[in-house]
Amino acid sequence: MPTNRQILLDNRPDGEATTSNFKLVTTDTPALQDGQVLVRHHYLSLDPYMRGRMNESKSYAQPQPLGEVMIGGTVGEVVESRHPKFKPGDQVVGMGGWQEYSVVDGNAPGLLRKVDTTHVPLSYYLGAVGMPGVTAWYGLTQIIAAKEGDTVVVSAATGAVGSAYAALAKARGCRAVGIAGGPAKCKYAVEELGFDACIDYREHPDVKTMAKALKEACPNGIDGYFENVGGYILDAVLLRTNAFARVAVCGMIAGYDGAPLPLQNPALILVNRLKIEGFIVSEHMELWPQALQELGTLVAQGKLKPRETIAQGIESAPEAFLGLLKGKNFGKQLVELI
Amino acid sequence: MPTNRQILLDNRPDGEATTSNFKLVTTDTPALQDGQVLVRHHYLSLDPYMRGRMNESKSYAQPQPLGEVMIGGTVGEVVESRHPKFKPGDQVVGMGGWQEYSVVDGNAPGLLRKVDTTHVPLSYYLGAVGMPGVTAWYGLTQIIAAKEGDTVVVSAATGAVGSAYAALAKARGCRAVGIAGGPAKCKYAVEELGFDACIDYREHPDVKTMAKALKEACPNGIDGYFENVGGYILDAVLLRTNAFARVAVCGMIAGYDGAPLPLQNPALILVNRLKIEGFIVSEHMELWPQALQELGTLVAQGKLKPRETIAQGIESAPEAFLGLLKGKNFGKQLVELI
């Protein structure tokens, strides 16, 4: 059996996460039992939600156990199978974790899904046509309920979620406005992703200047906001919401390190009759087929051209992950493992 | 024509509202023109929303203009009519303002509504079977969407909204938990209004002790919360919410004076997948008939027995209003004008 390199969570962060929270180990992949499948991972997905799992504290999900392989989405190829549904060469998406190989129970529903790479590159099943894409779809269609003419805003605009959000919003006749860090990302958001405008938060580092920038970018106010970040950007967005605006809360990166991150003016919820709703996309699996179909079509039509930042080798995953949390990636952050 | 005593907004509060913001004047009621109705007010309703109107700042409603009669709901009797639909002796509910008489355009839809006092006392049309009752109904049924077995909490539990909330929640098979100030109010909430438990916020003046009290009063967690207050009580409630809990935001009294009132931990919106929604009941007039019918029936059946605090004479309105903002009232705050 092949040798497998794995990244474990070794200890929990005290404040900011560091590479010393992780540990690289080498093991042998075990011999397969009946019904099991051995998958060689081509790509590992790195996502902000993983930071939440590193904490001990109560969250919507179980904390990542210490001494175990870090959780994570993967795409790869079946290299050995003792399950009739899978054969070597099948391309699959799953939750293989931060490692080069995984052994999967082929009978467990939803653990391993075969994908078609005729029109959609394999890695996209971790991004635009995967969990992040469905996340954008759910927030925009189920919570924001975007309709033609709405102005809809998203933070972390050039990430995997933001990229899909722009394409989905434009397909619905919305004005799509992004928020991203730095002129290169903002240029890319408008020129490649189709945003009507993009605000550089580094140029607007406080509520007042951000609210002013939002006023210029959203002359008709804000009808929907997809929250990936939290903190002062949310405060500024709320100041510009129209009556009956909807806010989909998907991530609050800025708060994962444990620093308090209050919402400064919740009275705006009443004043503007806002709806603010949190969600976790994995709790709405019944909607994934519909979402994935639309996202796959947008990719095939060239209307969704996501960018990827690809780190090489499993050993680079911790550093790449910490960079993601600081916004150093440009587009979907992946680790290539082959 | 009779002499009319009126309370005007004389100047805007700088921080806390005071009696010096108001001014009592005496005028003559004008002669009626065709289509007009003269109403003698029996009761004036005092409500927290009025504090918001006293500010200059942008809100969901126009600010109360300076030098004009304060806005307010009234019930009374038609004393003179030049409109075929109304005749002297009709009992009516309207928005007559802080004054003893009002002249109303009988043709304007919704301005004046005749009511039946066979089973429901006239003053109740300002409370349990009026705007506050419908407010409770809307929050509980349209936003919280309370269902049997849910634990639903309300702040300002013995006020007009809270009283109706308890009866409506019990009618739906919920566990109803109130939050009120002082042992007398809490005793009344449980013994008279039907709450299953009531927490005295004076005994629990911070997030930590309030969260502990909520844990005891809500052993199965909180599924719905009706927000009348804001501040640390909301923070504590959010800590005890179950997954997919709903928060109806109707008032944030603590914030009206302009003091910042941040929400300490908005990340809970994501962690517990909460829905938080603000509303103004006057924007949902299409649902009032349905709500008023249920509320009137609960009163007639003796299942909703609201308490009233009644100040005497229009000149007492400013003092009574400031007391309401400080929670000095016990049940619906009215001013009797006859």
Which residues of B are less than 8 Å from A262 in CB distance? 262-266
Nearest to B276 by CA among B241, B247, B250: B247
Per-residue tokens: A75? 């795409």
Instruction: For chain B, give the percent of residues with pLDDT over 90.
Output: 81
CB contact under 8 A, A269 and B275: no
Burial of B233 (0-12, 13-18, 19+ CB in 10 A): buried
Min Cα–Cα distance to chain B from A60, Å? 5
- For the question of whether the overall pTM of this predicted structure is more than 0.90, the answer is no
**Taking 60 as the threshold, does the pLDDT of residue B55 lie above it?**
yes
pLDDT band at B330 (very low <50, low <70, confident <90, very high): confident
Position B256 scores a pLDDT of 53
> Which pLDDT score, from 0 to 100, does residue B22 have?
98
pLDDT value, residue B254 = 53
Class of domain A3-127+306-336: alpha beta
Å between A56 CA and nearest CA of chain B: 14
Question: Which chain B residues are within 8 Å of A161, Cβ to Cβ?
Answer: none
Task: Locate A175 and state its tokens.
Answer: 């004005």
Which pLDDT tens digit goes with each residue over A268-315?
998 899 999 999 998 999 999 999 999 999 999 999 989 999 999 999
pLDDT of residue A230: 77
Which tens digit of pLDDT belongs to each residue from A190-247?
999 999 999 999 999 999 999 999 999 999 999 999 998 778 999 999 999 999 999 9
Cα-based torsion angle of the residue sequence B9, B13, B17, B18 in order, rounded to the nearest 10 degrees:
-70
Q: Does residue A328 contact residue A182 with C-beta atoms inside 8 Å?
A: no
Tell me, rounded to whole angstroms, the distance of Cα A146 from its chain centroid: 20
Lookup result for tokens 């499993």: A314
Instruction: List, in sequence order, every beta strand (DSSP E) within B234-331.
Output: 241-249, 275-278, 308-312
Q: In a 10 Å sphere around its CB, with 0-12 CB exposed, 13-18 middle and 19+ buried, how is residue B12 labelled?
A: middle
Is B234's CB within 8 Å of A266's CB?
yes
Beta bridge pairs of residue A177: A153, A197
> How high is the pLDDT of residue B259?
63
Length of chain A: 338
* Predicted confidence band of residue A111 (pLDDT cuts 50, 70, 90): confident
Is A277 in contact with B274 (Cβ distance < 8 A)? yes
ipTM of the complex in this document? 0.86
* For residue A4, pLDDT beyond 80: yes
> Distance of alpha carbon A231 from its chain centroid, rounded?
18
CA A83 to chain B, closest CA, distance in angstroms equals 36
Amino acid identity for residue B130 in this structure: G
Question: Which candidate from B243, B264, B280 shows the least CB-CB separation from A260?
Answer: B264
Distance CA A311, CA A309 (A): 7
Q: How far apart are CA A143 and CA A227, in angstroms?
A: 12
Is the CB of B262 less than 8 angstroms away from the CB of A264?
A: yes
Tokens in use for B159? 């006020």
| Cβ-based contacts of B251 with chain A (< 8 Å) | 270
Chain A residues touching residue B257 (CB < 8 angstroms): none
What is chain A's mean pLDDT, rounded? Answer: 93
- Asked whether the predicted pLDDT for residue B258 surpasses 70, the reply is no
Higher local confidence (pLDDT), B266 or A274 = A274
Nearest Cβ partner for A272 among B243, B275, B278: B278
Position B255 scores a pLDDT of 55
Which residue of A260, A273, A275 is in closest CB contact with B280? A273
Q: What is the C-alpha to C-alpha distance for residues A269 and B252, in angstroms, rounded to an integer?
A: 10
Task: Print the SS3 string covering A248-282.
Answer: EECCCHHHCCCCCCCECCCHHHHHCCCEEEECCHH
What is the distance between the alpha carbons of residues B321 and A97, in angstroms, rounded to a whole number? 61
Per the prediction, chain B carries an average pLDDT of: 93
pLDDT confidence of A131, banded at 50, 70, 90? very high
Question: A75 with A121: CB under 8 angstroms?
Answer: no
Q: Which residue has the tokens 């929990």?
A: A12
User: A270 near A250, Cβ under 8 Å?
Assistant: no
Distance CA B147, CA B171 (A): 10
| Residues in B touching A264 (Cβ below 8 Å) | 260, 262
The answer on pLDDT for A253 being more than 60 is no
Nearest CA in chain B to A281: B273
| Residue partners of A99: CB distance under 8 A and separation at least 6 | A4, A5, A6, A7, A41, A69, A314
Distance, in angstroms, between B253 CA and closest chain A CA? 9
Q: For tokens 């969600």, what's the residue?
A: A279
E-assigned strands of chain A?
3-9, 22-28, 36-45, 74-81, 91-94, 101-105, 112-114, 151-155, 175-180, 197-200, 222-227, 241-249, 275-278, 308-312, 332-336
For residues A2 and B240, the model is more confident at: B240
Residues of chain A neighbouring B277 (CB-CB closer than 8 A): 269, 273-276
What distance in Å separates the CA atoms of residue B121 and residue B4, rounded to the nearest whole number? 25
Domain spans of chain B, in order of start: 3-127+306-336, 131-282
B279/A278 Cβ within 8 A = no
- pLDDT, one tens digit per residue, over B86-142 is 999 999 999 999 999 999 999 988 789 999 999 999 999 999 999 999 999 999 999
- pLDDT average, residue stretch B77-81: 97
Q: List, for residues B275-315, the tens digit of each pLDDT value.
A: 999 999 989 999 999 999 999 999 999 999 899 999 999 99
Among A277, A282, A284, the strongest candidate for a mutation testing the B interface, having the largest count of B CBs within 10 A, is: A277
Instruction: Report d(CA A84, CA A333) in Å as an integer.
Output: 33
Q: Which residues in chain B are closer than 8 Å to A283, comparing Cβ atoms?
A: 273
The pair of three-digit structure tokens given for residue B210, joined into one six-digit string? 């309030």
Among all residues of chain A, which has the CA nearest to that of B254?
Answer: A267
Q: Where are the beta strands (DSSP E) in chain B?
A: 3-9, 22-28, 36-45, 74-81, 91-94, 101-105, 112-114, 151-155, 175-180, 197-200, 222-227, 241-249, 275-278, 308-312, 332-336
Residue with tokens 């550089």: A200
Q: How far is CA B146 from the centre of its chain?
A: 20
Chain B residues interacting with chain A (CB cutoff of 8 angstroms) = 58-60, 230, 234, 243, 249-252, 255, 260-267, 269-280, 283
Inter-CA distances, B319 with B72, B74, B308, Å: 15, 18, 16
Is residue B220 within 8 Å of B235, Cβ to Cβ? no
Q: 3-class DSSP state for residue B27?
A: strand
| CA-based nearest residue in chain B for residue A264 | B262
- Residue B59: list chain A partners with CB under 8 A: 271
**Burial degree of B280 (CB within 10 A; 0-12, 13-18, 19+):** middle
Q: Tokens at residue A167, please?
A: 């394409």
Q: How far is B230 from chain A (nearest CA, A)?
A: 8
Chain A residues whose CB is inside 8 A of the B249 CB are: 266, 269-270
What pLDDT, on a 0 to 100 scale, did the predictor assign at position A37?
97
At residue A69, the 3 state secondary structure works out as strand
Which two structure tokens, joined as six digits, stand for A10? 């070794």
C-beta separation of A51 from A99 below 8 A: no
Domain A131-282 has CATH 3.40.50.720: yes
- Name the token pair of B20: 């010096």
The β-bridge partners of A249 are A227, A278
Among partner residues A249, A260, A264, which is closest to B270 by beta-carbon distance?
A249
Beta-ladder partners of A334: A45, A310
Residues in contact with B98: Cβ distance below 8 Å, sequence separation at least 6, in sequence order: B6, B7, B44, B69, B70, B71, B72, B314, B317, B335
pLDDT tens-place string over residues B132-191 = 999 999 999 999 999 999 999 999 899 889 999 999 999 999 999 999 999 999 999 999
Closest Cβ–Cβ partner in A230, A250, A279 for B266: A230
In the numeric block, which tokens belong to residue A12?
A: 């929990």
